[in-house]
Amino acid sequence: MRHTEFWSRMERALGPAYAHTWAHEHVLAGLSGRTVDQALAEGWEPKQVWREVWKALGLPPRDR
């Protein structure tokens, strides 16, 4: 998964205005206590980060 696809999914799930705020502020245990922005900046794969976002948001299986 590329970063562009990751951000498209984030915006679909949370809306374009809130997705980036959520990614900057919400700490996820599955990312070892990092935010989405921190994990991506540290080189985590977008697909791995998306899986944790998907779980945290309780999104339907079709969005996995």
pLDDT digit string, tens, across residues 6-47: 999 999 999 999 999 999 999 999 999 999 999 999 999 999
- The DSSP-derived string for 5-40 is HHHHHHHHHH-HHHHHHHHHH-EEGGGTSEEHHHHH
Domain ranges of the chain: 3-63
Give the pTM: 0.91
